[in-house]
Amino acid sequence: MRELGIGLIGTGFMGRAHALAFRNVSAVFELPLKLKLAALADADPQRARHCADAWGFETAHSDWQQLINDPKVNLIAITTPNHLHYPMAMAALAAGKPVYCEKPLAVDLEQANAMRMAAKAAGVVTRVGYNYQHNPIIGLARELIENGELGHIISFQGEFSEDFMADSASPWSWRCDANHAGGALADLGSHLLAMARYLLGDIESVCADTQTVHRQRPATAGSQEQRTIAVDDQVHALLRFANGARGTFSSSWLKHGYKNHLSFEISGTRGTLAFDQERLNELRIYRAGQGGFQRLLAGPDLPGYAAFSPAPGHQLGYNELKTLEVHDLVMALTGISQGGTDFEQAWEVERLATAIRLAARESRWVGIEEV
């Protein structure tokens, strides 16, 4: 069995999620190759060594370029802050190595375009961490839509809101720097844009409004020093899909009470489908002429679910979705299937985000072909 050496860059929340997924995927799926946790990199050498030991990686690097150059590493997984995605991915692609990068793909469209072109030139597999699409219940939603259960789709209402920045006293972080991140639109909204495209196809034009509510935040926790904020706290948009459907989109990291409110309602001429990531193992469907919404619960009849549990209602969680994403990555690397979001598709998401910012700035409808 061929061996695939995993090189992981970054040791934050997403680094740990990737490490868990790479460890778990071999336990729950029969894989066509063997995964080896070859190397881990973090700028702090002590943390790199500690996490490598704790998570089962053989080698620790304090320089990410050394990890990319490591001959034992065949796949580069990038879980760093957004502004580092570009240089790391470009270096990995230049070395001819596949790349598994967290979302959003880059901090601007120019970088995203360069990354997708470099991926084409390198001819290697790329994937971006839009893991919510790998939920078996989302697969069911797409199947219901494609099979015509809802009739002709006429509307999409989507929202992704959390409250981790709701307190104006929450300190400045790299997410508040326009050169390093892109506000709620990039951090949360990119997931929703990717989901809308996954379920309903291309979006042709947008009209939008963005707002920075808290224009200053403490430089550090409890500090009297204030730093200016230049990224959006919330965004609202209207969408026109290529299939004729109309939609609404909103994203906020200020909405009290919500922790992972990636939600949508999709309506057609024969029914409505509803989902909320905070109840990620169920859909609600209304079929015209019936008395009310029906709850559809995830179970082992859905692809991917049975690998974790043989019984319905026992619930998958966030880390299981990440494991399903890594499984699709491995299948793509071996040419067995093509599930997941590659750099080309992630670039399309970045085009949408860029169009939304342009529409908000110029107060007009913007066609995607303009960006």
Convert the pLDDT of each residue in 333-363 to its tens digit: 999 999 999 999 999 999 999 999 999 999 9
- Given this model, what pLDDT does residue 291 score? 87
**Of 77, 105, 82, 80, whose CA–CA distance to 92 is shortest?**
77
Query: Which residues, listed in sequence order, are joined to residue 285 by a DSSP beta bridge?
Result: 273, 294
**pLDDT for 105:** 97
Task: Give the span between the Cα atoms of 265 and 287, in whole angstroms.
Answer: 13
Rg (the chain; Cα; Å): 21
What is the residue-averaged pLDDT of the chain? Answer: 96
Which residue in the block uniquely carries the two structure tokens 């080698």? 59
Q: What is the pLDDT of residues 169-218, one digit of tens each?
A: 999 998 898 888 889 999 999 999 999 999 999 999 999 999 999 999 99
Per-residue pLDDT, 1:
54
HEC-encoded secondary structure of the chain: CCEEEEEEECCCHHHHHHHHHHHHHHHHCCCCCEEEEEEEECCCHHHHHHHHHHHCCCEEECCHHHHHHCCCCCEEEECCCHHHHHHHHHHHHHCCCCEEECCCCCCCHHHHHHHHHHHHHHCCCEEECCHHHHCHHHHHHHHHHHCCCCCCEEEEEEEEECCCCCCCCCCCCHHHCCCCCCHHHHHHHHHHHHHHHHHHCCEEEEEEEEECCCCEEECCCCCCCEEECCCCCEEEEEEEECCCCEEEEEEECCCCCCCCEEEEEEEECCEEEEEEHHHCCEEEEEECCCCCCEEEECCCCCCCHHHCCCCCCCCCCHHHHHHHHHHHHHHHHCCCCCCCECHHHHHHHHHHHHHHHHHHHHCCCEEHHHC
Q: Which pLDDT score is estimated for 180?
A: 85
pLDDT of residue 203: 98
pLDDT average, residue stretch 150-168: 97
CB-count exposure of residue 2 (10 Å: 0-12, 13-18, 19+): exposed
Q: For 36-62, what is the mean pLDDT? A: 98
Question: Which residues on adjacent β-strands are paired with residue 217?
Answer: 227
- Per-residue pLDDT reduced to its tens digit, 251-296: 999 999 999 999 999 999 999 999 999 999 999 999 999 889 999 9
Is the pLDDT reported for residue 74 higher than 90?
Answer: yes
Query: What CATH class has 133-317+341-370?
Result: alpha beta
Structure confidence at residue 96 (pLDDT): 98
Question: Which residue's entry shows tokens 């965004």?
Answer: 235
**pLDDT tens figures, 110-156:** 999 999 999 999 999 999 999 999 999 999 999 999 999 999 999 99
Q: In the chain, what are the domain boundaries?
A: 3-131, 133-317+341-370
The CATH T-level fold of domain 3-131 is Rossmann fold (3.40.50)
Q: Give pLDDT tens digits for 24-34.
A: 999 999 999 99
